[in-house]
Structure formats: C-alpha cells, structure tokens
Chain A
Amino acid sequence: MTDHDATPDLTGPDLSESYALSINGRDREVADAWLGESLLYVLRERLGLPGSKNACEQGECGSCSVMMDGLLVNSCCVLAADAVDADVRTVEGLAPDGTLTDVQQAFLDAGAVQCGFCIPGLIVSVHDLLDRAPQPDELEVREAISGNLCRCTGYGRILQAVQDVAAARTAADAQEDRP
C-alpha cells in the first residue's frame, strides 16, 4: 500500500486468501484476505488486536513493534502471510488480562505516558531489551529504543521507567540469590 505507485490497477485487490496465524499462543484464522496485507493490518483490522499502532506503516517509527519467533520486528513491514509459521507476540499478549507487566507498571509510575500512541511499541521494545540485556546503561537504553519514535515525552520519563525496571529486577534477583 505505497503512495507512489504509478500505473493504475483497475481490478482491485484479490480478496481470496485464507491462512492461519499463531498470535499470543492462539491459532487465528484469516479468511478472504489480500496477500498484500501487512501483519500490522491483519492484527488490527482482521483479528481485533489494535494494540500495535500504525504511526508510519513504513518501518520508521516502531509503533507497530511485535515479537516474531523471539525477534523484535516492525509488523508494518512484515506481510501477514509470511508470518504463517511464526510465533507472534503482541502487546496484548504480554500480561494476562487485568494485570500489568513490570515494564507496563513502571511506565505508569514514571509518568512515561502522554498521548500513548508510541507506548505499546515501546513496551514491546523495552521487554525485548531487558530480556537481552538485564542491566543496560543509559546509552544502551537510548540506542535500543531509538527505533521507537515518541513525539510527546522527550523520552525522559521513558528512560526513567526502563532504569526503574532494570533496578527492580536486579534487586529481586539479588534477593533470590541470597542463601
């Protein structure tokens, strides 16, 4: 769905594909779909999972971040039909209903949320970072989330939230290690 395609196509998209995706551990059927649909579009418009956001749909902002087979991806840049054999995790699948992950709670406590449009993508990104690097220094955090644009916060409270989670996890680990 690019804006700069020159030749008009007078036929309209072929809406006849059917396939199954694995989203947040559940099998989901997709029917009567166009093969050109992005994973982001299918999540949002076909599967009722609009938590992943669509700020650019060009791979530039990270608002659509999801985990695919354990890798952080921009779901706007993945064709849904290419995700057929993958394990897809979205922001909706991070915590059981009615609960929050430590990262989500820390975002609230630190005041990291304003309009919130960037936030689901950032939450997914920060989970990924802290799984890979439990004690990142400030530059590492900045680099890790530099693919997630936020226009409201200036990132200050977001960086605070990430540091708070890292510190709390480290403290919890130290507790566990104590004899």
Chain B
Amino acid sequence: MTTTTCGPSSTAATGSAPAVTGSAPAVTGSAPVAPPGTRERTQRRVRDGLGTSADRPDGTPKVTGAFAFSSDLHDQRMLWGRTLRSPHAHARIVSIDTSAAAAMPGVVAVLLAEDVPGKATFGLEHTDQPVLARDVVRYEGEAVAIVAAEHPETALRAIRAIEVTYEPLPLLTDPAEAATTDPIHPDGNVFRTLPLRHGDVDATGDVVVEGTYEVGMQDQAFLGPESALALPSDDGGVELFISTQWLHVDRDQVAACLALPADQVHLTLGGVGGAFGAREDVSLQVHVCLLALATGRPVKMLYSRAESFLGHVHRHPARMRYRHHARRDGTLVKVEAEILLDGGAYASSSTAVLANAVCFAAGPYRVEAARIDGQVVRTNNPPCGAMRGFGVVQVCFAHEAQMDRLAAALDMDPVELRLHNALKPGDAIITGQRLTGTAPVREVIEAAMAHPLPPDPREDEPAIALPGGAGLTARREDVRRGTGIAVSIKNLMYSEGFDDYSTARVRLETSPDGEPFATVHSACAEVGQGFVTLAQQITRTALGIERVVLHAADTGVGSAGSTSASRQTWMSGGAVQLACDTVHHGLLERARGVLGVPDEPLVLEPGRVVDPATGAEVAIAQLLRAGPLEATEEHHHAPTSTLDADGQGDAHVSFAFAAHRATVDVDPDLGLVRVLQIATGQDVGRALNPRAVIGQIEGGIAQGVGLAVMEEILVEDGLVRNPSFTDYLIPTALDMPSVAATLIEQPEPGAPFGAKGVGEPPTISSTPAVVAAIRDATGKALTRVPVRAQDIAFGEAGAIPPTAGSTSAG
C-alpha cells in the first residue's frame, strides 16, 4: 500500500486542469473533466466519465423499491431490538426492575449497563456518553435498557414493563449558566472555550453596529430512520449491517464497548436514507450488537420517528452577540463576537463545531481585526453534534444580519457592501490563514444577483400560492414582497491538524465474456449524495473502460473517513483516482512490453493503449490476460495545523463560497411567509456531475429555508415537545421555492479534478438570505431563526438597509 499526499504542494507534480473563469449556466456548459495526469493523454472520451451527468448505479433499484435500505434487511431467525429511554432530562436512577419484562413470553433478552462487556462509554471525540445509563440520566431519551423479542410489539411492551425508579435532579437547561453551575458530568460542563484574536483588537471604526442573535435547534430529519441488522458471527464476533456516515469509527466504538478485537467486528453499509450529520455519532450500533451477542441470534433494530428525534444529535442552538466596526466607505475594521453553543448532555463533535463557528465568525469578508470568544457547553438538553453546515450555519445567520445592519447604518446597498469587503485569493481570514486556492466571492454574489427576480404577483393567482398556503388566510392586498442576500464561506474536510484520509482499492480484470471491467472498493458511505456515481465516473475516465462495479462499502478495506464536511468528492474521489492511476501505470507497463517500446510515452484511450508515434495499439482486454491489476491507495489532504492560543493558524484545507438571494411574500399581520425563489451562485471548483451538483444545491437550500421559517426542535425544561413530522415541520413541495443556480467553476489547486465539495454551502447562506428578505418586506428586526409568525406580527422593528441590489450591483 502506498500513501500519497495530494495537497497544494503536489499540484505541480500532478498538473491541474486549466482554469475556467466566469460562470457556467446550471447543468449545461460544463466540459468533461479529465483527472490530472490523464487529460493530455486521453484523446477520446469514455462514456459517462467525469464531467457528464452520468446515471446513478443505484437509481433503478431506488425507483423500483428493490434497493435495500438498512431498515429493509430481514433474517428468518431475527429478533427485534428496542430501547428504553429516560423520560427525564436529569435524574438519578434509583432502581431498575426488569423481572416482569424478562418474564414476558417472546422476550429473549433484557440488558442493562452492567451487561456491557467492554468500555462503558462511547463518543466521537470524547467518550463521555454511556452505552446504557447506570446511575444518572442527563437528557430525555438517554438509553437505559435494551430488549430483544420475537415481535416488535412484544419488544415495545417489554420496555414498557421495565420498572425504573428515578429521582429527578436539578436541571441545567440554560447554556449561559453551564460554566458556573455544578458539573452534571464528571468531565465538567464546558466542552471547549476558544478565543480568537486577530490584528489590532483595540481598533475602532467610524460606524459601529451591534446585534444579538439566536439560532434554534434544527434536526437533520433524514427520512430513513435509524436501523440495523446485527448477526453473531462464528468467531464470536459480530457482523453489522448499518446505515452510517463512517463505518470505521463505528466499528472502533462497537469493538471497544463489546470488548472485541476490531477484526471481529465487521461492518457493511446498509442502504442509507439520508444522513446530514445525524449518523456520524453512534446511536443503536452498540445496542444491536450487544443484543445479537447476548441472544446468539440476528437482531434488527429500527427507531420509530419519535425515537429518531430523541436518538440522534441535533444542530447546536446558538446565542451570539456581535459588534461590527467599519469605516465610512464600508471597509470592515473589526468584528467582535461572543458565541455560545448549547452542546446538550454529551460531547459528540461539539469541540469541532465550535472551531468552525469561531473561525468563520466574520464570514467571507476581509477584516483587519477580530475578537471572537466562543464556548460550547454541556446542559441537560438533547445532545448536539454534526449537521450540514457544522457551526458555520449559526454564525452565518448572525454575520449576515450584521452586514445588513451595517449597510443600513452606512446607507449603502447591502450587495455593494459585501462586494467591497469580499475575500479574494491571497487574502487572510480571521485565523490569519491566507486563501491559497480559489476564492470567487465576488463571482458568486454577482451570479446570484444576475438571475431574474420572480414575476410580480398576479391578481388571479390561486389562494394556495399566497403565504400560509392551504390555510387560505392571507389576502393578496396585504401581502408584501421582499428580497435579501447572504454570502457564506465553508471549510472543506476536517480541520485543526486532523488527517482524515481515505482509502480505495481498484481492481481491473476481464469478465468471462472477455470485456474488461473494474471493481472499486471503498468504505465511503453513500448517503444519497452520489459518491457511487462519482466513483464510477472517475474510474471510467481514468481507465478508459465503461464497466465499473462497486464492491459493497464495508470495513474490509481501509477507512474512507466520514461522509461529512463536504469531503468525500475530494478525499475518497481522490483515493479512487490514486488507485486508478496506479492501475493505469501497470497497464502502460504491460503495453510497453507487448508493443516492444520500453521507453515510449503511451496513451490510454477508451478500451486500448496506443503508441502515438507509430499508431500501434493493444486492447486493454489483451493486457489483462496476464491477470488482473489491483491497487490500494490512501489519499491524504495537505496537512493543517492546530489553532494557537489566539485562535490563529492554518487550520483548514480549503474553502468554498456561496451566495443566495431570496425573494419572499409575507403577510405582515398574520406573520405568514412564502419563500418564492432562491437565486444562488456557488463556487464548486469543477462540476464533476452537473445534475448531481444541482441536486445537492436544491436539497441544501431546502434545509436552509426550513431553518429560516419552520424547523425547530422545541425543548422545554429539557423535554422535546415536538418529536414527530406532525409538529417538527420540514419543507414540503408546497413550501419549497424555485431555485435558480449558477455554478462558478474555477478549478481548485490541489483538489482532485479541481472539484470542491458542494453539499454544505447551499444550506448555510440560504437561511440568512430568507430572513433578510422577510426583514425587507416587514421592517422587523428578526434576530432569531426559525422566524415564527409572532416574530413577524409582534416583533420589534429593525434597521433595514436599502433593498438588496436596488442600486448597481447585479
């Protein structure tokens, strides 16, 4: 196995695709992309290679119903697992009586904390969460006991038959009190405190604007509930089919808690019904394996929707105080912010979420100085962790509201103000890190603004098109329209020195019919984003063949890292490319032998290798008669550094930018909103599959719109009030605006194929754009998301800048 770094420093060696400036229209206009190193040599293009909108290999089974999601798995002998969860947000467990449950016919096992054979706790970065609570429960929904039974209804009745006596403990639910309250966990109540000092922190501006902002708790609300099938294996280990984002990190946690060596815990990805961050932490993985080992039978676990809302981490709620200083001409002088994130009961990825919030607190702007103080704390609220946008969503809502306040104070067009301060390549962000890659901030803003606005309202429009929709309560004459803009910066890949490498194995051989085909083996979790398509496209282009088979994602190959942080195209795409390059090399070696040209530069074309000097050629199939070619490669991104005591350092690998312009109709008296259109420009590096990129953009915007106007987990005294799709609303087809997208293609140096991850940016600035548009329509301050009807109808007025783009910008 070889290890290859493909970071900025190796760009020259691998070559980069020619720069494409300006913007390409959505979907059309993208030229096929060749991987570095093969671009010059591949003259004829293979079908469905890079840059095409190739079809998903899992598309057909997904439309026929044949695709096996983890919840579809079934074994004739299987039992059903179920979890007993704490009804209290903070309580001491006085006693647990399982005798009635265990005596029920059809109940095969009832397990408690003392039945966990290995490590009692798990966690992504800090293992502070009990597999099963022993003495204390720290949030509503914490797992206390698990059962396995012959029928799911039996399992449900069994957990209800377990008698737990709790003694309620004082609640810590206000994150502002966490640091000074008695610890609710032996590890203390503060997960991380992160100060950032940049430039002259005592500098002041001619104009100063302040604001306090709040972000509510959002849920990933993937459609496929948590589910898994665990089977005891003959060697005393366990086989787990699981929907997750990162097989290897699950494997390691399961192995530790079961006291098994890692090689006796084998994980295979079950079909994943969406993830968005919520499957990065362990939920039922350890429980279902424990039950399988305890009963010696296959066990299936499947969360109900209510349980799913309690059983995975959420987006951190945030409270933020901001002060922006600027000169009269709009130049940002200093950004000050205090950021408090509520991490809930257990650590999850809280420390990394905070780092993102702090590093990107000022947004995609050049700022001479910054003083940021971030803290993420433990409370008795539901645990929070990864969700699409990862810490940046929260601060983007605040810094974009601040930019509009500043524009109002300066009487300046908000688009002009943003363009004036937009980061450019070579500028530094507030961590002192210079942007060595592409940074088309101006371009994304201009692209978003260039889209035509939606048509004016028509008198004869059906009532369902009014704000409030089917409620039919708004009147056309009361409705006001508004537009708003917001811009974001997001880091790609993991940060602060973390080496989140990816592994891929590629094998090239001939099938019995004599046709060459490749098999790609990667542990990358396909969660819907389309990595499976991309892996095929890369392999087709790199090896000049059409048939590419995907090995099931499992722990039989090295880690691919997590499907998160917009990283898999770069990291696992890069790993597939490296493995293909090695195989490609082997093919050319064999061809030199066959053609008797030891030193000639040969060319790989679809299906064959050609000697351009003589025109002599040999079929790939013939070269494979000597046996298959196989390579396993690891792809590491360029190393990053940690943040120093002042929050300074080159902590991030790469950055992606997006701008969103929202148009809304609002009934200000009723507080009803209809989001009509989101226009966006997004920095994608290169669009490797334009149709899939558009899907990511539209889907990400839906989640951003959801946070703006409807999505919030309501927590009262630590108790979740709305754990259902009846009460936790996500956008339906009627709520979703039309999307007009422009992809800005400027290949990123050091990125495989020049492509940047595209999953997160659409979710980030779409939220503040919608809120800015509602402010524009209503004149209300709206400092909290989601915006509720009462915030519009009764909220205080705010400073409103001139309407976005009303002057010169577009």
Contact = CB atoms under 8 A, between A and B. Distances in A.
B63 A154 contact: no
Interface string B84-121: 00000000000000001001111100000000000000
Interface of B: 53, 55-56, 58-60, 62-69, 71-72, 74, 100, 103-107, 149, 151-154, 156-158, 160-161, 220-225, 271-276, 302, 304-307, 462, 464-465, 470, 527-530, 691-692, 694-695, 698-703, 724-726, 730-734, 736, 738-739
Given A54-B71, A55-B305, A156-B698, A8 B732 contact: no
A167 to B, nearest CB: 18
A53 B223 contact: yes
Interface of A: 1, 3, 5, 8-13, 15, 34, 36-37, 41, 44-45, 48-58, 60-61, 63, 90-92, 94-95, 100, 104, 107-108, 111, 113-120, 123, 139, 141-143, 145-159
Give the interface centre of A11, A55, A57, A92 by most chain B CB atoms within 10 Å. A55
Contact of B699 (A45, A114, A142, A145): A114
Contacts of A157: 691, 694-695, 698
Contact of A139 (B157, B222, B271, B465): B465
B304 to A, nearest CB: 6
B733 A145 contact: yes
A94 B64 CA distance: 8
B69 A117 contact: yes
B699 A153 contact: yes
Contacts of B530: 114
A151 B730 contact: yes
Given A114-B529, A117-B223, A152-B274, A104 B63 contact: yes
B157 A111 contact: no
Contacts of B152: 1, 41
13 contacts: A12-B107, A12-B154, A13-B154, A37-B153, A54-B71, A107-B59, A108-B56, A115-B274, A120-B63, A139-B464, A143-B734, A147-B732, A152-B274
Contact of B74 (A45, A63, A115, A159): A45
Contacts of A60: 305, 724-726
Nearest to B276: A151
A8 B701 contact: no
B225 A107 contact: no
B63 A58 contact: no
B104 A12 contact: yes
B698 A52 contact: no
Question: Top 8 A-B pairs ranked by shortest CB distance?
Answer: A51-B65, A115-B528, A116-B62, A117-B273, A154-B698, A154-B702, A60-B725, A114-B528
Given A53-B69, A108-B60, A156-B694, A150 B104 contact: no
Contact of B223 (A36, A57, A143, A151): A151
Contacts of B529: 114
A163 to B, nearest CB: 13
A58 B727 CA distance: 12
Contacts of A54: 71, 225, 302
A45 B229 CA distance: 13
Nearest to B727: A60
A92 B733 contact: no
A87 B271 CA distance: 30
Contacts of B724: 56, 58, 60
B55 A108 contact: yes
A16 to B, nearest CB: 12
Nearest to A36: B153
Given A9-B160, A114-B529, A3 B307 contact: yes
A115 B305 contact: no
Contacts of B528: 114-116, 152
